[in-house]
Each structure stands twice: as C-alpha cells, then as structure tokens.
Amino acid sequence: MEILGRDFYRRDTLTVAQDLLGCVLVRELEGERLVGRITETEAYIGRCDKACHAYGYRRTPRTETLFARPGTAYLYLIYGMYTCLNLVTEAPGEPAAVLIRGLEPLAGAETMAALRFGCPLDRLTAYQRRNFLNGPGKVCKAISLDRSMDGHDLLTPPLYLLPRQGPVGEIRHGPRVGIDYAQEARDFPWRFWLEA
C-alpha cells in the first residue's frame, strides 16, 4: 500500500479532516510498526480561526511548522506535558492543519499499552481500554511521539499515513474540544469522528 502523497494534504483542511477518518497512521519504532486507524480529527485554519496557533498568520518559533509544505507533522505541547500531532494542510505559507484526536489500534497494541499505561494489554482495566487512544495526548504517548518529530515529512518513515481501505460509515461532526477561549470559533463544527 502506498504512503499518502503530498496532494492528499494540499487540499481544503475541512475536506482533509474528514478524508483522514479511516486512514491508517503508522509509527515505526525500534523495528516495530505501531499502526492505528484514525477515528477522530479536528481542523484548524489560521486565516479565520481564533483557535489556530497561527490565527491571522501569526508567525512565531512555535507556529513556523504550520507554514510548511502540506504533509508536514506539526507537534506541540499542551499543558506543558501532552504532545499533540497535527498534519499540515493546504498550500505552503497557508497555516492550516488537522489534529489527530483518536485512533483504533491495528498493530502493535501491546507496545502501545506499555507506552501508555506501563502494563501489558491483557492487564488493562475496562476504563483503560475505553480510553486507550481517545485523545490527542493519549495517541502521542501510545506511539511515542514528542516535539523532536516536529517538522517531519509525513511521506517518509518513521511516521506516515496509508489510505483508508473500504467504506468508513457515517461521519459525525460537531464543535472542537477545549477551545473555549476562541470566541466564535469555539462553535465551529470542525471536529469529525466515526461512530463506534
């Protein structure tokens, strides 16, 4: 299966955010492939979105990656401790990206459980299973992503995406999570997810 190419990302961010659902995220780590199907995303568009770090084309050392070519990984910390993975979209110089909010594990779940909870997969509680990969910080911890991967080209290992295989079912949408500061943008229905 071919890695998703630059043209996939070089499109309208809202379209990419929906088209990413069902696609497969691959993280190669010490000879193992940690693989997950994308189940939830959020779109951020700097030209009009007060929730975007580069709102109004604001350039800082932190946001510079948002202006990179499409198909670049933008990683940053929230609350000073949780890493979030975003995929840069649209044309170079246009700050926009899609946040990966949730995954369904397909391969390497044992390693993901160890990274996320420090215990084997079969020792997870029901609560831990329900909340395994259902948040951006949880995803990054489970696949061992940190800020050192900021700026990585998603067309190359060790982090890349594969196209979805088959239909994904109904795509739901609603407001994004945790952006109450963003005034009118907090109500934009730019979060997309697959029904469980």
Domain boundaries, the chain: 6-194
The percentage of residues in the chain with a pLDDT greater than 70, rounded to a whole number, is 99
Judge if the upstream peptide bond of residue 189 is cis by omega within 30 degrees of 0: no
Residue 80 confidence class, pLDDT cut points 50, 70, 90? confident
Query: Is 0.85 topped by the overall pTM?
Result: yes
Convert the pLDDT of each residue in 131-161 to its tens digit.
999 999 999 999 999 999 999 999 999 999 9
pLDDT band at 195 (very low <50, low <70, confident <90, very high): confident
Q: For residue range 102-123, what is the model confidence (pLDDT) as tens digits? A: 999 999 999 999 999 999 999 9
Q: Report, at the CATH architecture level, how domain 6-194 is classified.
A: Roll (3.10)
Q: The dihedral of CA 117, 124, 111, 77: what is its sign? A: negative
Dist CA 137 CA 43 (whole Å): 16
The two three-digit tokens of residue 25, written as one number: 């995220």
Split at pLDDT 50, 70, 90, the class of 72 is very high
Residues 6+ positions from 130 with CB-CB distance below 8 Å: none
Q: Can you tell me the distance from the alpha carbon of 28 to that of 31, in angstroms, rounded to the nearest whole number?
A: 7
Q: Which residues pair with 191 in a beta bridge?
A: 42, 174
Q: Which neighbouring-strand residues pair with 96?
A: 45
User: Is the pLDDT confidence value at 25 over 90?
Assistant: yes
Determine the Cα–Cα distance for residues 188 and 186; give it in Å rounded to an integer. 6
Name beta bridge partners: 159.
Answer: 27
